[in-house]
Structure 1
Amino acid sequence: MDERVQRYVDMGVALGVSVGGKIVGAILVWVIGRMIVRGILSMMQRSSALKKLDTTLAHYLESAASVLLNILLVIAVLSVFGVETTTFASLLAAIGIAVGMAWSGLLSNLAAGVFMILLRPFKTGDYVTAGGVTGTVHSIGLFATTLDTPDNVRTIVGNNKIFSDTIQNFSTNPVRRVDCTAQLAHGADHEAAIARLKTHLALIPNVAKTPAPSVEILDFTLAGPVLAVRPFCHTDHYWGVYFATTKIIREELGKMGLPVPSQHVHINQLAAAPPHRAAGSEIHPTA
Structure 2
Amino acid sequence: MAQEESATTQEASSTIISPETIEKIQGIIVDNALNVLYAIVIFVIGKWIVSMVRNGIRKAMEKRNVDPALISFGTSIIYYVLMICVILAAAQQVGFQTTSLVAILGAAGLAVGLALQGSLSNFAAGVLIIMFRPFRIGDVIDAGGQIGKVMEIGVLVTVMHSPDNKKIIMPNSSIMAGCITNITANDTRRVDMTVGVSYSDDLDKVQNVILDVLNADDRILNDPAPQVEVSELADSSVNFVVRPWAKTSDYWGVFFDFQKTIKQRLDKEGVSIPFPQQDVYMHNVDSSAS
Same fold flag (TM > 0.5) = yes
Task: State the SS of the aligned residue for 1:206.
Answer: coil
Matches within 5 A, 1:89-238: 89-219=102-232, 223-238=236-251
Of 256-265 and 164-173, deviating more is 256-265
- How many angstroms does 1:165 deviate by? 0.7
Task: State the SS of the aligned residue for 1:47.
Answer: helix
Of 79-88 and 98-107, deviating more is 79-88
The amino acid of 2:262's aligned partner reads: I
Pick aligned residue for 1:251 from 264, 284, 287: 264
Distance (whole Å) between structure 2 residues aligned to residue 252 and residue 67 of structure 1:
63
- How many angstroms does 1:6 deviate by? 8.8
- How many angstroms does 1:199 deviate by? 2.0
The amino acid of 1:45's aligned partner reads: R
Deviations 1:129-168 (A, max 9, x none): 1222222333333322233332333423222211111111
Pick aligned residue for 2:44 from 20, 25, 31: 31
- How many angstroms does 1:90 deviate by? 0.9
For residue 285 of structure 1, what is the aligned residue in structure 2?
Answer: none
- Measured at CA, do residues 203 and 72 of structure 1 come closer, stay the same or move farther in structure 2, by a change above 3 Å? farther
Instruction: Provide the aligned C-alpha RMSD in A.
Output: 3.5
Uncovered stretches (5+) of structure 2, i.e. residues with no partner? 1-11
For residue 51 of structure 1, what is the aligned residue in structure 2?
Answer: 64
Distance (whole Å) between structure 1 residues aligned to residue 20 and residue 267 of structure 2:
103
Distance (whole Å) between structure 2 residues aligned to residue 8 and residue 245 of structure 1:
95
Distance (whole Å) between structure 1 residues aligned to residue 57 and residue 67 of structure 2:
14
Distance (whole Å) between structure 2 residues aligned to residue 92 and residue 149 of structure 1:
40
Uncovered stretches (5+) of structure 1, i.e. residues with no partner? 277-287
Distance (whole Å) between structure 1 residues aligned to residue 234 and residue 246 of structure 2:
29
Contact 2:213–2:262 (8 Å) recurs in 1: no
The amino acid of 1:196's aligned partner reads: V
Aligned length: 276
The amino acid of 1:117's aligned partner reads: I
Distance (whole Å) between structure 1 residues aligned to residue 251 and residue 45 of structure 2:
50
Of 175-184 and 156-165, deviating more is 175-184
- How many angstroms does 1:55 deviate by? 3.8
- Measured at CA, do residues 204 and 99 of structure 1 come closer, stay the same or move farther in structure 2, by a change above 3 Å? farther
- Measured at CA, do residues 245 and 259 of structure 1 come closer, stay the same or move farther in structure 2, by a change above 3 Å? closer
Of 90-99 and 210-219, deviating more is 210-219
Distance (whole Å) between structure 1 residues aligned to residue 83 and residue 250 of structure 2:
42
Contact 2:152–2:159 (8 Å) recurs in 1: yes
Distance (whole Å) between structure 2 residues aligned to residue 12 and residue 242 of structure 1:
84
Distance (whole Å) between structure 2 residues aligned to residue 104 and residue 49 of structure 1:
33
The amino acid of 2:157's aligned partner reads: A
The amino acid of 1:97's aligned partner reads: L
